[in-house]
Amino acid sequence: MLEIKTAKTRKGKRELEKRAPKLVESGKKTLILHGTKTSGVLNAVLAQIYHLKKDSAVKYSRKNENVKPFEAGGETSLEFFSLKTDCSIFVYGSHSKKRPDNLVIGRTYDHHIFDLVEVGVENFKPMESFSYNKKLAPKEGSKPFIVFIGEGFEAVEELKHLKEVLLDLLRGEVVENLNLAGVDRAYVCAALSPNRVFFTHCALRLKKSGTVVPRMELEEVGPSMDFVVRRHRPPNESLRKEAMKTSREKPKKKEKNVKRDELQGKIGSIYIPDQKVGETPIPYKAKGVKRERQEAKRKNESDGSASKRKKEDS
């Protein structure tokens, strides 16, 4: 039988708790890998993707010969890296004569391949080729707008799949409320044809419009490129259903020092430190104490004078 190993240190237990399934999942991390052979363009593309997702990405710079996502048995190393780095999205770059500047974007479920989309990169322009006011540069880790333009994203199966994968790749942390003043970037994806998508990254400028909603202007800051869809492998229907399961019950926050009683209902306990009443200093010049001392002094004086008279009489 296989021996099940458990964490023995507190740090190991915390890491396992972070990786454990949750009702509300945190943001997805991205793993960036190089294939056996890559081109200068592809190296620049991977570096720029890592720069855009620097706060939630892991980049491996070594070449990986055993990683072949679309081939049987070629995903073993990829799944191992996904488990090791706790990344649920990966971007794999390779270059060959048959498929130049090839980019494979995929997702994993339970650290096993969920789906894959293969695209070719064309007309690449890095960030350095764009001239703009550096004060408008988007801040690292900010929440982006993602815009999909074109009917192809609703009608063509390949572009539908690419849209799902790009949303997971670019959206970052899932939040319920958003401050509009903190949104400073937008990713624009335009379907040019059934297998070609134009992708660009823009800075967002908010200007006065005379109403509550500000006027927005986009300024291209790069990178920009064309994605040509080559191959894609959607997930099985049974696997999709299993991955999309959600719980109706929302996780309840633990209330400290609160208990419930059938008769009294909700009861809370409050910590009050020891008051140390016995050590509380009593004011020396109290009026009541003064009066008592004066009366005692008079009584002692009267008793003393009476005893003197008795002695004199005797």
CATH topology of domain 25-237: Rossmann fold (3.40.50)
Integer angstrom CA distances of residue 5 from 80, 83, 117, 305, 311: 17, 16, 35, 96, 101
Parse the chain into domains and list their residue ranges.
25-237
Taking only the tens place, the pLDDT of each residue in 205-251 is 888 888 888 888 899 998 999 999 999 999 988 888 888 877 666 66
Is pTM, for the whole model, over 0.85? Answer: no
Question: 165-169, 191-195, 249-253: which has the minimum mean pLDDT?
Answer: 249-253
Integer angstrom CA distances of residue 218 from 46, 126, 182, 225: 24, 17, 15, 17
Distance CA 35, CA 60 (A): 10
Whether the pLDDT of residue 310 is over 70: the answer is no
Check whether the bond before 214 is cis (ω within 30° of 0). no
